[in-house]
Amino acid sequence: MTMDTTTTPRSIIELKDVRKSYGKVTALHGIDATIREGEFFSLLGPSGCGKTTLLRLIAGFDEPTSGSIEIDGKPMAGISANRRPTNMVFQSYAIFPHLSVAENVGYGLVPKRMPKAEIAAEVDKALRMVDLSGYGDRGAHELSGGQRQRVALARALVMRPKVVLLDEPLSALDKKLREQMQVELRALQQSIGITFILVTHDQEEAMIMSDRIAVMFDGHIAQLDSPQALYRHPVSERVASFIGVMNFLPATAKAAGEGELALDIAALGAVTLPVAAVPEGISPAKVTKIGVRPEMLTVLFDDSDHAERVTEGVVVSTSYYGDMTYYSIVLDGAEKPVTISMRNTAGRAVAPVGARLRIGWGAESIVLFS
Amino acid sequence: MRLDAEGRRGLTLISPTLIYALVMLAAPLAMVVTFSFWTQNYLDIDTTFTLDNYHEAWTQPIYQTLMARSLIISVVVTVVTVLLAFPVAYYISFRVTRRKTLWLFLVTIPFWTSYLLRVFLWKVILGYNGVLNSALMGMGFIDEPLTFLLYNANAVVLTLAHAWAPFAILPIFVALEKIDRSLLEAAEDLGDGPWRRFRRVTLPLAMPGVIAATLIVLIPTVGDFITPRLVGGTDGLMIANMIQIQVGRANNAPLGAALAISSMVVVGTLSVLIFLVGRRFGGRTR
Ligand SMILES: Nc1ncnc2c1ncn2[C@@H]1O[C@H](COP(=O)(O)OP(=O)(O)O)[C@@H](O)[C@H]1O
Ligand SMILES: [Mg+2]
């Protein structure tokens, strides 16, 4: 379900059946992926799923147990980290404590026999890029967390790598700063056009920043897609519940006409879908569950409101977020409540707990799972 | 000065240490300093202030020679010890992944026997009919025992370097352990090979440990007198032996005191220099 543009950019990294074991622990079970030149690519998954391991294999700090990694068309086997066209922004930032900001940023340029003035110019440019002009003479301990993160980024960018690798670079920052940096980092990546590979366990962060995301569980890539495709068409229940909120409802498949699938969904009712709506890898008869996102269900406040399909339910709790209200509603005929998000409007009060509401939904918004 | 309850409690807490330090360190030191300005008249002491002792200590060739030799020996011991200790500390810190404690424990094994015993062991090894000479003769490498092994400055250097090795290994090990391993990966990531990375990151960050090791070995070895007495022969004698002679057999405690204070000043100056140079080189963290 990838949203392929007409001209597919060329690939910069090819991962072919990459496996990595540490003794008896297998951290990666055969990773296959192509990372495109100039894209913002995220490795997303819960802690321990092997994201860092994969990033370190690409950086060259570890060798895969088997499989191959190609960067820019060259196989990387036996090539150590200091000779790879990648640069890393470490989770701890790894700012050299005995060097100034400028010396940190220029670290990788010094051995290149560049004239001092040229190094200074490059360092200045990189510092300007991360909005740290004038900080060159500071020591590492005189920087805030956000500034250290920028220094680490400048230090990587100044090397003009083919790929920048970022291991949870924002996880140490507080929420506000993290959100600001997400936007800035994305904007910077788009303006310089270098491939970024970001490791994160924060699905929101991955969604906001990435062109494509590889969702990883237990050393496998569960799904590799654009943020929209991951959100709209998750291939498994696990992916669906990892990315955003998803309401799951049991369903039974029934015989239907040619090219059609009839489903009886608990609490929502019967629908007939074209077989084409069934994701690859699931046989239509085996559909046992459907998912529907909170914003795909609508509370019909006015009697005049209407929707493709309508059902009813009782409010069991509400959470008010200012712009949105999240309703927990037990639909008629269901046991567990579903979550429904509604944008707040000027003239409308939040429905009280116990209120009986009409809920609208559409067959199009439903995701099928086996 | 009025003390509040907390201040009094603090003082009470440190007072045993404070009193001990005053009695055992400050008082004797003050006495030595005072003595160095007096004069010995055969049996009694003339307590009029004089700088004669210092004049003698700094101008007599014998004292100059001994001071210079002490400095040279201890500098050589320090250099040898620190250079040999660094790889050991490096190995334990970077290469040993399990049982680091066991390795550190092994490093301290020499302490399990008395220092005197260890010095005598070196005599047994290096002596005229010692282990080394017998072995070399037995294997036919030499026809008669080597005499340059024992009773000279070399023997002093060897014995001291062995004795002080753990004291040098431990501070360097601690400094290496403190280095964040991701800094080393960052250096590699930015293009450094192993050697350049060592020079640009590992060594500068280990510098505080190296300086500590240097001072820990240098300061006491300048004043060592047991080792030169036992394995140094005549051309291995050091300034502390002369101080001992002045205070004891020569019955000139004031001159001994002046020599002691002088060597303290020399070592102190040298230590400050080493500290400053080391900091310039990379011990500073900005
Ligand atoms: N050096 C290592 N030695 C042994 N096991 C490791 C090592 N590095 C990672 N692992 C294991 O591999 C798995 C994946 O780890 P990691 O890549 O760090 O996960 P993530 O970054 O996604 O949180 C974990 O189970 C972890 O325990
Ligand atoms: Mg990780």
Mean pLDDT of chain A: 91
Domain membership flag for residue B29: no
State the pLDDT confidence band at A125, using cuts at 50, 70 and 90. very high
Count of domains forming chain B: 1
> Considering Cα of A41, then A47, then A51, then A57, what sign does the dihedral take?
positive
> For B27-36, how does the pLDDT look when each residue is reduced to its tens digit (9 = 90+)?
999 999 999 9
Domain membership flag for residue B250: yes
Domain ranges of chain A: 11-237, 245-370
Query: Is the predicted pLDDT of residue B286 greater than 50, yes or no?
Result: no
Lowest-confidence region among A122-126, A288-292, B170-174 = A288-292
Residue A266 has a pLDDT of 81
Find chain B residues with C-beta within 8 A of A140's C-beta: 285-286
Residue A258 has a pLDDT of 73
pTM for the structure as a whole: 0.85
Residue in A44, A49, A53, A55 to alter for ligand 1 test, most ligand atoms within 8 A of Cβ: A53
State the pLDDT confidence band at B282, using cuts at 50, 70 and 90. low
What are the beta bridge partners of residue A88? Answer: A165
Domain of residue B148, residue span: 54-281
State the pLDDT confidence band at B1, using cuts at 50, 70 and 90. low
Residue B2 has a pLDDT of 65
Three-state DSSP class for A130? Answer: coil
> Which residues does A244 contact at the CB level (< 8 Å), separation at least 6?
A203, A207, A231, A293
Lowest-confidence region among A197-211, A235-249, B4-18 = B4-18
A152, A94 Cβ separation under 8 angstroms: yes
State the pLDDT confidence band at A1, using cuts at 50, 70 and 90. very low
Domain membership flag for residue B63: yes
Residue A25 has a pLDDT of 93
- Ligand 1 site, residue A47, Cβ cutoff 6 A: yes
> For B220-278, how does the pLDDT look when each residue is reduced to its tens digit (9 = 90+)?
999 888 898 888 888 888 999 999 999 988 889 999 999 999 999 999 999 999 988 88
* Phi then psi dihedrals of residue A195, to 5 deg: -65, 130
- What's the rounded mean pLDDT across residues B6-11? 84
User: CB-based contact (8 Å) between B188 and chain A?
Assistant: yes
Residue B10 has a pLDDT of 84
What's the rounded Cα separation, in Å, for the pair A217 and A54? 13
> For B92-119, how does the pLDDT look when each residue is reduced to its tens digit (9 = 90+)?
999 998 888 899 898 888 788 888 888 8
Please choose, from the candidates A248, A273, A278, the residue with its C-alpha nearest in 3D space to the C-alpha of residue A368. Answer: A278
Please choose, from the candidates A274, A281, A289, the residue with its C-alpha nearest in 3D space to the C-alpha of residue A241. Answer: A289
Query: Is the predicted pLDDT of residue A91 greater than 70, yes or no?
Result: yes
Ligand with minimal distance to A56 CA:
1
In chain B, % helix, strand, coil (3-state, to 5) comes to: 75, 0, 20
Give the domain CATH number at B82.
1.10.3720.10
- The fold for domain A245-370 equals OB fold (Dihydrolipoamide Acetyltransferase, E2P) (2.40.50)
Percent of residues, chain B, with pLDDT higher than 90: 54
- What's the rounded mean pLDDT across residues B52-65? 93
B101 min Cα distance to partner chain A (Å): 23
> For B130-176, how does the pLDDT look when each residue is reduced to its tens digit (9 = 90+)?
888 899 998 988 888 888 888 888 889 999 999 999 999 999 999 99
Percent of residues, chain A, with pLDDT higher than 70: 98
> For A139-183, how does the pLDDT look when each residue is reduced to its tens digit (9 = 90+)?
888 899 889 999 999 999 999 999 999 999 998 888 998 999 999
3-state helix/strand/coil string of B241-271: HHHHHHHCCCCCHHHHHHHHHHHHHHHHHHH
Residue B62 has a pLDDT of 93
Domain membership flag for residue B25: no
- What's the rounded mean pLDDT across residues A262-281? 81
Please choose, from the candidates B253, B248, B208, the residue with its C-alpha nearest in 3D space to the C-alpha of residue B28. Answer: B253
Q: Is B282 left (phi over 0), alpha (psi -120 to 50) or beta?
A: left
- Say whether domain A11-237 belongs to CATH 3.40.50.720: no
Residue B128 has a pLDDT of 85
Domain membership flag for residue B23: no
**Residue A14 C-alpha to ligand 2 middle, in angstroms?**
21
List the single best residue of B98, B178, B190, B198 to mutate versus A (max A Cβ within 10 A): B190
